[in-house]
Structure 1
């Protein structure tokens, strides 16, 4: 799967996208036939113990993206650029994004967008780095906007529509829309030729993306626009409790879990 393949699916086939942060989960996601795997900066909350995405570093993202890329055969691998690794200095931004393709074997990068990323998107695509734009709720801006639904009044909605059109013109191959009114998501999807990928943006987007931990039921809770399709956390708790009981009761390890070497009987 390449960026152009995703772009061509706009208005044709529903697009599926999930996050993955390691080789085992990425393998499962890819084998299920998911179109895109996002190595999200949400790894900060889901795997690294942070309260936000802001502390995630470039090196952590490079490492996680490389692990995912090693096992993904079909899906498009998108590296989510961490806070302040882009949009400050153009040359440094290009170098950081380029490293995701050169060193971590990503197929594209995702940028949390604003006025400052229009020209950067254009330059990256000119250099051969596919860009997925991200508008609406952008968690890296939580200290400015908060983690609330965006585009809820006419002025804010128009601004998001304008940025969406400008990023499409700049060369973005797709656009993530997060936590915006469903009717705004529909308008943007109708106006753009590139596919929109919704997360809390309604059913009219060309595709959907969720955090894999919430989908499989590994998180303790889920966002109001998400859904658990499994109960991995419950199964993990059951298995760990059974292991603890088996060790404490002497049931584990049993004879079949150990190896005896007869030649060692006379060592002592």
Structure 2
């Protein structure tokens, strides 16, 4: 297998210009990152969606910077030749700029991320400008922003009317001006996402944003229905059913343990008779004669 070289933000911009779609997967651990890299995924996002998907929370809000550092470091170990972006979790970039930079430093130095992702539009642009000015690539995120779900009134499709579409366009342009190298568009109507994409020189990556964007991102657990129960989503295509496979495997494992059919002869290790004799002596005879 040829050695894979990670993308950088210059190559990503060139891919947009040439019409080459970017593939991105959200992953949270070492083995998943390994498999994604082996498959040729362009970028991996360590999303704060780990709160819902991995940690069992009802939202992304409880996720801490320490959670993100831990999972990002695991992903980078598994995908050392892939561009890895780490989410800045809730309220880690809305205080003082010193606090924001400390959190960015954690993700970069301790988590070994290549870039950070931040939710929001014009209201975060001053922070984006400062962070990119410090040499850290920033991926923007507009549309449905889960960290603001309580403020925006739930998980609603964005860009359904002219006013909302104009807001998204202005946010996207402001993020580009502030130095973001790309923007995630989440749950945005296809027409609006396509128009925003045409107005930017930086790539857009869609999740539930239709076909006119520069790339796509999906969560690993959605791609492979790795959940119980799994809830279907309109914007997701399932490429496998790991959940059913794993559940059936567990059921069979429990059954064979209860029946004592596992382990069988092929799974055990045996010692030479002399070893047993030296260890247990006459006690072995009593056991065998019992």
Secondary structure at the residue paired with 1:79? Answer: strand
Instruction: State whether structure 2 residue 221 is matched by structure 1 residue 209.
Output: no
1:8 corresponds to which residue? 14
Contact 1:161–1:188 (CA under 8 A) maintained in structure 2: yes
Match of 1:189 in 2: 197
2:209 counterpart SS class: coil
1:255 to partner: Cα distance: 2.0
Q: 2:58 pairs with 45, 51, 54, which one?
A: 51
Taking the aligned partners of 1:56 and 1:67, their CA distance within structure 2 comes to: 16
Report the number of matched residues: 268
Which 5+ residue runs of structure 2 have no aligned equivalent?
A: 1-6, 284-290
Say which one has the larger Rg: 2
CA deviations over 1:53-87 (Å, ceiling 9, x no partner): 11111101000000001121332100011101112
Residues in 1 aligned to 2:13 and 2:98: alpha-carbon distance in whole angstroms: 27
Shift of 1:181: 0.7
Normalised to the residue count of structure 2, the TM-score between the two structures is 0.89
Give, in angstroms, the shift of residue 11 of structure 1: 3.6
- 1:23-38 counterparts in 2 under 5 A? 23-38=30-45
Q: CA RMSD of the aligned region, Å?
A: 1.2
1:104 shift after superposition: 1.1
User: Alignment partner of 2:35: what SS?
Assistant: helix
1:114 is displaced (CA, Å) by 2.6
Specify the alignment match of 1:111 in structure 2: 118
The aligned counterpart of 1:63 is: 70
Q: Return 5+ residue gaps in structure 1 as ranges.
A: none
Work out the CA distance in 1 between the residues paired with 2:120 and 2:251: 44
What TM-score does the superposition give when structure 1 sets the normalisation length?
A: 0.97
- Shift of residue 99 of structure 1? 1.6
Range with greater deviation from structure 2 (251-260 or 48-57): 251-260
Aligned to 2:267: 257
- The question of whether the paired residues in 1 share the 8 Å contact of 2:68 and 2:86 is answered with yes
Measured after TM superposition, the shift of residue 101 of structure 1 is 1.1
